[in-house]
Amino acid sequence: MNKRAIIIDDERLARNELKKLLTEFPDIEVIDEASNVDEGLQKIEALNPDLIFLDIQMPGKTGFDLLSELDRTPEVIFTTAYDEYALRAFEVNALDYLLKPIEPKRLADALHKLDEDDKETTVDGEPISVNRSMLSENDQVFVKDGERCWFVKLSDIRLFESVGNYAKVYFGPNKPLILKSLNALEERLDEKIFFRANRKHIVNLRMIEKVEPYFNGGLLLEIHGGDKIEVSRRQAVKFKEMMSL
């Protein structure tokens, strides 16, 4: 499947070298390039690429700053001269992390991961797209906040809460922050298990202990652990439809 890509790097020679390497991969179409974060954001919003090749150290803002400003993030392959950002790249679910100068084989390996994420399967002989990045309730996810790290079973997470460009993850007694928007999380979560209650919260439906009517046609959910979450009037209609017999 063809992928439309944007290269975001402040070094013109690096952009040109990467474009040259990508000519060996006919499924990758470089539709534009940008030399800084602000220009990159504009082009991502305008062109909606499937993939971005993203430098980290750029004047003014970093590649991580760019990702924090996106509500919906395309696949990301970092391209950088520095290896100290690899763990942080893992935190933001980058597809791969390529050190400059980029080796053709490492680029091929990274693009192979893209193929794995977008394989097709069939139902009754008809091809359907399978999003390999979707998370199931039995998956374990890596959560890091400062120096503390956890591998958490997704079904043990009771709540995601938006905090600026971050999301607070509620599990057990812990509430670490991750650099991820709620919209990006929602795309990867099973809607049969996780429900977008309002602009700021996604709740685990299996952790709900009590439901009460609330102001203006909304609902108030009490979830395991005692947290109370308001469901907006619009989402309350959807919630009732989902939970009714």
pLDDT of 115-159, one tens digit each? 665 544 333 334 433 344 577 777 777 787 777 888 888 899 999
Give me the mean pLDDT over the 92-118 stretch.
82
Give me the mean pLDDT over the 52-63 stretch.
95
Residues of the chain with CATH 2.40.50.1020: 140-243
Which of 159, 157, 126, 166 shows the shortest CA–CA distance to 229?
159
What's the alpha-carbon Rg for the chain, to the nearest Å?
20
Residue 62: both structure tokens together: 């970093």
Give me the mean pLDDT over the 58-76 stretch.
87
Tell me phi and psi for residue 82, to 5 degrees: -115, 135
Q: How far is CA 120 from CA 26, 85, 128, 132, in A?
A: 19, 32, 6, 10
More confident residue, 15 or 73: 15
More confident residue, 93 or 214: 214
Residue 128: partners with Cβ closer than 8 Å, 6 or more residues away:
120, 121, 122
Share of the chain above pLDDT 70, in %: 90
Name all contacts of 137-146 with Cβ < 8 Å and 24+ positions apart: 137/190, 137/193, 142/90, 142/91, 143/169, 143/176, 143/178, 144/87, 144/91, 144/176, 144/178, 145/176, 145/177, 145/178
Q: What is the mean pLDDT of the chain?
A: 85
**Cα distance between residue 44 and residue 74, in whole Å:** 9
CATH homologous superfamily for 3-117?
A: Response regulator (3.40.50.2300)
Q: How would you label 179-204 residue by residue, b for 16+ Cβ within 10 Å and e otherwise?
A: bbbbebbeebbeeebbbbbbeebbbb
Residue 217 confidence class, pLDDT cut points 50, 70, 90: confident
How confident is the model at residue 91, as a pLDDT?
A: 65
Residues of the chain with CATH 3.40.50.2300: 3-117
* Domain range 140-243, CATH architecture: Beta Barrel (2.40)
How confident is the model at residue 125, as a pLDDT?
A: 39
How confident is the model at residue 118, as a pLDDT?
A: 54
Share of the chain above pLDDT 90, in %: 50
Q: How far is CA 17 from CA 11, 93, 104, 155, in A?
A: 10, 25, 11, 44
